[in-house]
Chains A and B, each alone.
Chain A
Amino acid sequence: MAKFADTFLNWEVMAQYAPKIVEGFFVTIQLAIAVVVTGIVVGLVLAVARTFRVRLVNFFIVLMVDLFRALPPLVLIMILYFALPTVGIKFSGFVATWLALSAILAAFSEEIFWAGILAVPRGQWEAARSTGLGFMQAMSHVVLPQAVRLTIPPLTNRTIAITKGTALGATVAVGEILYQAQTGYSFSYNPSPLTLGAIAYLILFIPVVWFGRWVETRFAWKR
């Protein structure tokens, strides 16, 4: 047991790398916030754009959504980080991870918002328009508020899942938690930094998972 503690919970090693992990903790949070904001905003804009029913535009939206839902996030990050530079387009690891995850979240949230908009009964549209509201007014004051409520549980779960993808940034040298933990591990040849990293993830994501659970029961779809 003492040997186990010495290996996985080595105080000396942990004290040495804790500041790095804390630094990584904040990078993870920054990256996560950037991804969530960009992904959801872009997804919402695309879903609203789709309601204009311009055939060519919708074709490209659906194409983009399918593309980013089918590609594994890590593959997308690798393409942005390792393939694009060969034609002269260079991103930092942070930007590559942010772009890849945001595109994926945008794709998923567009689908969810679009399904939500379709689920609002046509009568709501017609009633709103007949009271004199314009198209965008009907959209933003009548349809979207109802649609968004329907979409909250699936959207929350998807967002949480994609936010955890920030750990993939470690593979392209983004200094987030996992990267710091892994670097600490290779320098010290002791897994304590990995333990510390795991703890940091639990501190960050256990509340998020619980929040997701709460949202699921609070906004549950009535079947």
Chain B
Amino acid sequence: METLISAFFNGAILRETAPYLWSGFLMTVLLTIVVVPLGLAGGLAIALLSTLKSKVLRITLILYTDLFRAFPPLVLLMFIAFGLPFTGIDLPAFASVALAFLLNTSSYYGEIFRAGIESVPRGQLEAARSTGLGAAQTMAYVVVPQATRNVIPDLISNTLEVVKLTSIASVVALPELLYAARQAQSITYNATPIIAAGIIYLVCLWPLVRLLSRFEHRQIAVH
């Protein structure tokens, strides 16, 4: 027990490395604030574009979503971080991560929004158009608000996955929470920082998990 505490819950080590972990935490928060809205916007754009009647466009978008859903996010990130510099585009780590996340998460969010838009009855669209709203207005004021409401559980669930996914940024040396914890661990030769990072993720994300678990039960039970 004594060894377990000094290896995993070492107070002295924690005090020493807390500033690192804090700055890592802030970077994770910043990353989340950047990549979640980017992914949401990208996903909504994809879903809206695929409602247009162009067949070419629709096939292109399906290819895009399937392609980026097939790549594990880490593979995409490494390709952008290590491959792209060879084309002369040398992005800073943060931008590489943001780009990889945009490509990956926008395809997931896009699928969710598409399902949402499909769940809005056609009558809503027809009624809106017949009151004199234009196509864009109908989308913005009638279809998208209802579509979004219908898929809120899926949006939250995907957002939780995106927040968790920010930890892969550590692989390209972006100093977010996991990276900071690993650095602190290798400096102190003690696992406390990485356990602390785990606890931080847990404390921040647990409420979201509880909320989702309720939504999911309702979703299956309602069928």
Contacts and interface: CB of A to CB of B under 8 A. Distances in A.
A67 B185 CA distance: 22
A202 B66 CA distance: 10
B94 interface: no
Interface string B12-39: 0000000000000000000000000000
A192 B83 CA distance: 9
Interface string A178-211: 1001100100001100110110011001101110
Interface stretch (B40-48, B53-61, B132-140, B196-204): B196-204
B87 A70 contact: no
Interface band, chain A: 35 or more
A8 B67 CA distance: 18
Interface in A35-73: 65-67, 69-73
The DSSP consensus for interface residues of chain B is helix
A195 B171 CA distance: 18
B195 interface: yes
A87 B7 contact: yes
Given A75-B198, A82-B185, A83-B191, A223 B206 contact: no
Contact of A178 (B72, B170, B201): B72
Interface string B88-131: 00000000000000000000000000000001000000000000
B83 A8 contact: yes
Interface band, chain B: 35 or more
Contacts of A171: 74, 171
A178 B7 CA distance: 32
The DSSP consensus for interface residues of chain A is helix
Nearest to A204: B70
Interface string B190-223: 1100110110011001101110110011011111
Given A154-B220, A202-B70, 7 more contacts: A70-B202, A74-B178, A86-B7, A154-B216, A181-B75, A198-B75, A209-B70
28 contacts: A70-B208, A71-B198, A72-B165, A72-B166, A72-B167, A74-B167, A75-B178, A75-B197, A78-B182, A82-B194, A83-B195, A111-B213, A111-B216, A115-B217, A119-B220, A151-B220, A154-B216, A164-B73, A166-B72, A168-B74, A168-B168, A170-B74, A171-B171, A177-B75, A202-B71, A205-B69, A205-B72, A221-B223
Interface of B: 3-4, 7-8, 66-67, 69-75, 78-79, 82-83, 86-87, 119, 160-161, 164-168, 170-171, 178, 181-182, 185, 190-191, 194-195, 197-198, 201-202, 205-206, 208-210, 212-213, 216-217, 219-223
Interface of A: 4, 7-8, 65-67, 69-76, 78-79, 82-84, 86-87, 111-112, 115-116, 118-119, 150-151, 154, 161, 164-168, 170-171, 177-178, 181-182, 185, 190-191, 194-195, 197-198, 201-202, 205-206, 208-210, 213, 221-223
